Amino acid sequence: MSLIFGSVSKHGYMMKSKIKKHVFGYDVFKENIPFSKLDEGDVLLSPYDEFKRNHNWSFLSMNDDYIELIDQSYARLGKGLSPFIFVIPLMLIALYFLYLYFTLGDDSNDSIFITFLIVTSVVFIMWFCFFVFFRPFYKYDYKKPLCKPILFNRKTGKVFFYLTEAEYIERDWKDVVYVMGNSFGLSGAPLRELRAHIVEEGILKHTFVIGFPMMGIFRTQGLWSFICHFMHKGPEELYPKPHPIYGTIDPFTQLTFCQQVIGAKESYRDTWKSFRIIYHDNWVPALFSFPFDLGNFIARRILLNIKPLPVWHKEVILKNKMEKERPEEISFKDNFKFSMFEMKDK
């Protein structure tokens, strides 16, 4: 199908997306709608694009046959619930005020109207906080798996998208429409994300966001180039190897870090690192996002304990020989150690 490129409006801002809505940390994509024109500012990607590679902290594993990556549900895990975490103190203060009013106040001096007004105000605050900040999580994320991984198999040329334990989508990887689209973080910062659109006869059926949405275009382009390099040339140049002359390992163009999806078994330190590591060597956004990430961390720990782990359908496991022992495979156990400005050998 042919797609028409969008562009930035003459006023310099992005028009409202026609294919999704953004609700407190959730990108909710529409389905079964016509899809022939990109939103303004979105960029159509080609399987033959070549940018500077960047793993973008978005991989789960890599071996000679396939790569497995996180989707937006894991990248944004906790962000939709974190505003509710921030308003919990407000709710507790409102309840404490109500407690003081009835235990310490002199009820005989207050009219029924004042009492009704105070009680109603507290009840409204509680209802407002639950409805505005908790409802998006309940509507879009409740009982959903911790992650919906995406798997690219270079030997078969197929890509697999996780839906549920019993459902998945399989396509030839070049038959999927890949787009670098616009989004924004909880703080309002503009982001770029790598999308995969499943389009059938001009109708948009499904949309998946691959990896972390990031500020700027280069790391999102780099993630796409990393995937394309693997599919066309294999993993040989992607394994961490010292430069033949300088003896250094590039922390971004080679796979030096993988995420782990193990749920409640994950340590508190690993939870913090799993999403804060995207600020490596970039202290300004790390500092700006710190208060937001504190709420995200608390919400993320809660969700790690209540959300189910993803389990691929047995057909996907068989088609990709996922139970085969692979000594060449890279996963979180092979991670290098990262600080804010430094990478150390594992």
Q: For 37-46, 82-91, 157-166, 292-301, which range has the lowest pLDDT when averaged over its residues? A: 82-91
Q: How far apart are CA 88 and CA 81, in angstroms?
A: 11
Mean pLDDT, range 4-24, rounded to an integer: 55
Q: Is the pLDDT of residue 38 over 80?
A: yes
* DSSP three-state, residue 176: coil
Q: Is the pLDDT of residue 14 over 60?
A: no
User: pLDDT tens digits, residue range 106-135?
Assistant: 555 566 777 778 888 888 888 888 888 788
Q: How far apart are CA 135 and CA 106, in angstroms?
A: 37
The encoded tokens of residue 278 equal 């995207």
Q: How many CA atoms lie within 13 A of 20 on its CB side?
A: 22
Q: Looking at residue 13, what is its pLDDT?
A: 38
Closest CA to 15 of 36, 39, 34: 39
User: Tell me, what amino acid is at 170?
Assistant: E
Residues in the chain, how many?
A: 346
Q: What is the pTM of this model?
A: 0.86
User: 115 with 98: CB under 8 angstroms?
Assistant: no
Q: How far apart are CA 61 and CA 335, in angstroms?
A: 11
User: pLDDT tens digits, residue range 193-234?
Assistant: 999 999 998 899 999 999 998 988 899 999 999 999 999 999
Domain locations in the chain? 20-81+141-344, 82-140
User: Which helix (H) or strand (E) covers residue 139, if one does?
Assistant: helix 135-140
Higher pLDDT, 66 or 82: 66
User: pLDDT tens digits, residue range 253-302?
Assistant: 999 999 999 898 999 999 998 888 888 877 787 788 888 888 889 989 99
User: Tell me, what amino acid is at 178?
Assistant: Y
